[in-house]
Amino acid sequence: MGPAGRLDGIARHKVSRGPMETLDRALVTPDKGLEGDCRGKVPEGKKGNRQITVIEAESWAAALDELGSAADGLAWSDRRANLLVSGIRLPREPGKVIAIGQSLRIEVRCECDPCSRMDALRDGLRLALTPDWRGGVCGRVISEGEIALGDEVRIEK
C-alpha cells in the first residue's frame, strides 16, 4: 500500500438540496451509505454508483485558488461531498478501493462531476472543479465502518 492520508471532514444532507450537516464521526454501511444522508440508500435495481462522495482537500483548495477572492466564505461542505480527505491522491479510475479507518471500504465508481449548483454558489466554481477530477469521486460502500475525523485513509488497489 502507498502513503496514507487523513479524513478531515464528514458531511451529510438529510434531504435532497437540503443543508449540509458536518459530523465528527459516523457509521457508513453498504445498505444506507453515510448514516442519515439522503443519497446513501441504493434504490432497488440500481448499482449504487453515487452512494457516497469523497473529495481531496488539495483539489478543493486548488479550485478555490482559481476563483481567488470570489471563493471567500466557501466551506468544503458547500461542494456537497460526504467525505474530505487530505494528504492522499484519490484514484482517477473506477474499481479502485479507498480504505478509511479500521474497516470502511469504498469502491470508486466514477468521477463526481460538478453540477450547475456549484455556479449557483459562486460563478465559475463548476469550471474550477472540472479539471483532473477536482470535484471528487463517487463510490459504492463495500464494507461498513465507523469513521471519525483524523482516521487514516489509504488506497488498497
Angle at 130 between CA 126 and CA 131, to 5 degrees: 150
The candidate with the shortest Cα–Cα distance to 125, out of 137, 116, 138, 133, is: 116
Cell of 130: 472540472
User: Distance between alpha carbon 118 and the CA centroid of its chain, in Å?
Assistant: 15
* pLDDT tens, position by position, 10-59: 999 998 888 899 999 999 999 999 999 998 887 777 777 789 999 999 99
CATH of domain 5-155: 2.40.33.20
Q: What are the sequence ranges of the domains in the chain?
A: 5-155
Q: How confident is the model at residue 128 (pLDDT cuts 50, 70, 90)?
A: very high
The rounded distance, in Å, linking the Cα atoms of 34 and 145 is 10
Confidence class for position 121, pLDDT limits 50, 70, 90? confident
pLDDT single digits (tens) 69-97:
878 889 999 999 999 999 999 999 999 99
Strands 152-155 and 33-34: unpaired
Which residues are paired to 137 by β-bridges?
54, 111
